[in-house]
């Protein structure tokens, strides 16, 4: 079915009413201009008035841009009461009639004001007065448009730029302005056109020299409509040229070809020499972000630390604190034996890979690799080759796949030669095959570069694969820490078990020393110190559960403790999950390389006591 033509929509007809309203007067004017024998092009003063308007509008735009674009950036990043007040002040000239705008400006630059006397009264009835009047009425257009554009800039891109060594001013010019460029250009166009066409404020502050609108009104009031055709036509032509020029696309920069960096000149970090000694990250943080309170400390010496927790646990706040994005306020941070708390974010030498890749839409792959302070073409070429990005140097992020964008993000931070690599959910937005491939790639980079890494994730498999030690956190607090194998084998609590993705999480009751009663029988467990009758939750990893045959009479065979019926067999291609119903709706999952049982069979389950993790239910007592 072909979609209906858009102009047949009732909405298009409603919009057409406005187009007709705006376009018909212009068309009627052009017809009158062509047919009229007297247009006013030879009237003295026309050319001078046009020059005054062009010069005044251009100077006003330059002045407003110089101070207005930075102001818009500050307002876009501020949320306090002062920013609200400033925002209101900036927009007042929009609501104030221009004639009254000229009146209020007299109290600033009039001949008898402090500024007026300081400049000898030359701020009115002069070109300076024209520019001042035009600036006052047109400035809000640029500030409002630029502020909206700056608010649309992804804050994570500014944060990544900070970790790559760029200060506040550099981030403004190299990230914020290019990304907000379309909105800024729209605001500049509106500002220039508003200044060019201003009459009310200009006629109050600077009747002479006459601008084009002042000249046109004088002609209209003195000679009637015919001599206004020429200045109106000139104004219309200037407006069309300005709009067309603003819509022109800038040519894209070319990028160096592969041959620009000879192969012999490309460094090979880690090749032919041992990787540098990692600088493990330690910290003792106590920081509030709004209503959220982060209180975490870590004293381990592992080179590869993983932080696991649910959404809202404080994982990203932890990484931002380590990176220095909150300054020194969160508390002390060490890289190896060196405390870096006092270092500003630009000088902490961290490679920060933010969520969602945080790439810059206006930069090519090659420019991304060279974006960090200190990055060289040789380093850029090495990491582009190493991460499989060769041939993509001229592409921008929108032209790349998710996996390619993630590789660009890694190449960008590695070109900065960081001391520590911080990874914030680096693979969460990727498809499973790409995610697995990049996990392996990152693990290889950990070995090759010798970088200490801190990975935050909500994926237990990802944390286990890329980290030697794990911190499990929730609500800004530590729940458990330790080597990956230890945490997965014996979670400290039911909550930790859930966060680690433990699949067998069941209920039971302590039946005696070293044994609990569960659906389907009694299960031997390691010594626990809980009193008989204590309600507990227990778990065991599926790969630690084995299926065995039954002895004559249907009793468990040697080593068997529980008996149940196989209700599901799931072959994933990598392993087989067997689900066994123990009774009362309770099911236990076992995992093996091949299917050890068929549907409907009754089997005994063999579980080693040390493989069982056990916790008392909240409110249950213990024997001490």
Tens-place pLDDT, residues 521-548 = 888 898 878 888 899 998 988 988 988 8
Residue 67 pLDDT > 60, yes or no?
yes
Residue 558, pLDDT score: 55
Q: What is the pLDDT of residue 184?
A: 96
| CA–CA–CA angle 421, 155, 388 (5° rounding) | 45
The predicted structure's pLDDT at residue 287: 94
Average pLDDT over every residue of 313-323: 93
149 sits in which H/E element? helix 127-151
Helix (H, G, I), strand (E, B) or coil at 480: strand
Longest Cα–Cα distance of the chain, Å, equals: 120
pLDDT at 253: 61
Domain ranges of the chain: 39-246, 278-488, 503-616
Does the pLDDT value for residue 474 go beyond 70? yes
Q: Give Cα 309 to chain centroid, integer Å.
A: 20
Q: What is the pLDDT of residue 264?
A: 41
Asked whether the predicted pLDDT for residue 490 surpasses 50, the reply is: yes
Do 193 and 53 form a contact (C-beta atoms < 8 A)?
Answer: no
Mean predicted confidence (pLDDT) in 14-18:
86
Average pLDDT, stretch 90-106? 92
Per-residue confidence band for 272, with pLDDT thresholds at 50, 70 and 90:
very low
Output Rg (C-alpha) for the chain, integer angstroms: 36
On the question of a common fold for 278-488 and 503-616, the answer reads no
**Is there a contact between 563 and 554 (Cβ–Cβ < 8 Å)?**
yes
Q: What is the dotted CATH code of the domain comprising 503-616?
A: 2.40.50.140
- Cα–Cα distance, 242 to 490 (Å, whole number): 70
The one-character DSSP state at 77 is T
At 255 the pLDDT is 55
Is 209:53 a contact under the CB 8 Å cutoff? no
Report whether pLDDT(196) > 50.
yes
Architecture of domain 278-488: 3-Layer(aba) Sandwich (3.40)
The band of 13, judged by pLDDT with boundaries at 50, 70 and 90, is confident
Q: How far apart are CA 417 and CA 167, in angstroms?
A: 17
Locate 39 and state its tokens.
Answer: 């247009």
In the predicted model, is pLDDT for residue 389 greater than 50? yes
Could you list the beta-strand ranges (E) of 497-585.
505-512, 515-518, 521-524, 535-539, 545-548, 562-571, 576-583
In contact, 139 and 191? CB cutoff 8 Å: yes
- CATH level 3 topology of 39-246: MetI-like fold (1.10.3720)
Beta strand pairing status for 562-571 and 292-298?
unpaired
- Report H helices in 275-376: 315-323, 365-369
pLDDT score of 150: 97
pLDDT at 555: 62
- Which residues lie across from 481 on neighbouring strands? 471
Is 70 exceeded by the pLDDT of residue 271? no
- For residue 338, what pLDDT is reported? 93
Residue 457 phi/psi, 5-degree rounding, is -160, 165
pLDDT of residue 29: 87
Residues in the chain: 624
Q: In sequence order, which ranges of 154-208 are alpha helices (DSSP H)?
A: 155-163, 168-171, 177-179, 181-196, 200-205
The token pair that represents 466 in the structure block: 């890329």
CB 198 within 8 A of CB 205: no
Helix (H) or strand (E) holding 471: strand 469-474
E-assigned strand segments in 200-340: 281-289, 292-298, 304-308, 333-335, 338-339
Q: Residue 445 pLDDT > 60, yes or no?
A: yes
């Amino acid at each position: 079915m072909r979609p209906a033509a858009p102009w047949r929509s009732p909405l298009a007809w409603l919009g057409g009413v406005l187009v007709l309203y705006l376009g018909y007067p212009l068309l009627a004017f052009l017809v009158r201009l062509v047919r009229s024998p007297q247009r006013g092009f030879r009237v003295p003063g026309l050319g001078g008035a046009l020059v005054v308007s062009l010069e005044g509008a251009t100077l006003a735009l330059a002045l407003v841009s110089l101070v207005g674009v930075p102001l818009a950036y500050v307002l876009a990043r501020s949320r306090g009461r002062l920013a609200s007040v400033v925002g209101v002040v900036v927009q007042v000239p929009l609501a104030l009639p221009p004639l009254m705008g000229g009146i209020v400006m007299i109290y600033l630059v009039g001949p008898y004001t402090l500024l007026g006397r300081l400049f000898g009264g030359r701020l009115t009835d002069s070109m300076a007065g024209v520019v001042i009047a035009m600036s006052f009425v047109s400035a809000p257009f640029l500030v409002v448009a630029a502020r909206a554009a700056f608010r649309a800039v992804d804050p994570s891109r500014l944060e990544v730029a900070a970790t790559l060594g760029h200060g506040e001013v550099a981030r403004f010019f190299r990230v914020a302005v290019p990304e907000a460029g379309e909105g800024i250009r729209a605001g500049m166009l509106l500002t220039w056109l508003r200044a060019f066409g201003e009459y009310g404020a200009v006629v109050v502050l600077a009747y002479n020299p006459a601008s084009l609108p002042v000249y046109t009104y004088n002609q209209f009031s003195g000679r009637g409509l015919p001599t206004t055709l020429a200045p109106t036509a000139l104004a219309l032509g200037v407006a069309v040229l300005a709009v067309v020029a603003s819509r022109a696309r800038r040519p894209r920069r070319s990028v160096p070809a592969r041959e620009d960096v000879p192969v012999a000149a490309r460094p090979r970090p880690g090749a032919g020499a041992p990787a540098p000694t990692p600088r493990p990250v330690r910290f003792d943080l106590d920081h509030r972000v709004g209503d959220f309170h982060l209180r975490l400390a870590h004293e381990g010496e592992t080179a590869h630390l993983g932080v696991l927790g649910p959404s809202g646990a404080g994982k990203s706040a932890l990484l931002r604190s380590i990176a220095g994005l909150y300054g020194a306020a969160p508390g002390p941070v060490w890289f190896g034996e060196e405390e870096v708390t006092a270092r500003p974010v630009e000088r902490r030498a961290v490679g920060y890979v933010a969520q969602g890749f945080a790439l810059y839409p206006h930069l090519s792959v090659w420019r991304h690799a060279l974006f960090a302070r200190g990055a060289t073409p040789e380093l850029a070429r090495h990491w582009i080759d190493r991460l499989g990005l060769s041939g993509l140097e001229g592409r921008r992020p929108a032209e790349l796949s998710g996996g390619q964008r993630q590789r660009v993000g890694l190449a960008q931070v590695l070109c900065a030669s960081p001391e520590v690599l911080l990874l914030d959910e680096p693979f969460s937005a990727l498809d499973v095959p790409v995610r697995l491939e990049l996990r392996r790639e990152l693990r290889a980079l950990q070995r090759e570069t010798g970088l200490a890494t801190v990975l935050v994730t909500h994926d237990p498999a990802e944390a286990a694969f890329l980290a030697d030690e794990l911190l499990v956190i929730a609500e800004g607090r530590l729940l458990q820490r330790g080597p990956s194998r230890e945490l997965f084998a014996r979670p400290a609590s039911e909550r930790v078990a859930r966060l680690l993705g433990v699949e067998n999480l069941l209920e039971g009751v302590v039946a005696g020393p070293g044994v609990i009663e569960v659906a389907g029988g009694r299960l031997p467990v390691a010594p626990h110190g809980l009193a008989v009758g204590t309600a507990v939750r227990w778990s065991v990893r599926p790969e630690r559960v084995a299926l065995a045959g039954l002895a004559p009479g249907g009793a468990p065979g040697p080593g068997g403790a529980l008996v149940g019926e196989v209700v599901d067999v799931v072959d994933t291609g990598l392993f087989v999950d067997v689900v066994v119903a123990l009774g009362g709706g309770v099911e236990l999952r076992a995992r093996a390389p091949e299917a050890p049982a068929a549907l409907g069979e009754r089997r005994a389950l063999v579980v080693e006591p040390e493989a069982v993790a056990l916790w008392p239910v909240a409110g249950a007592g213990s024997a001490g």
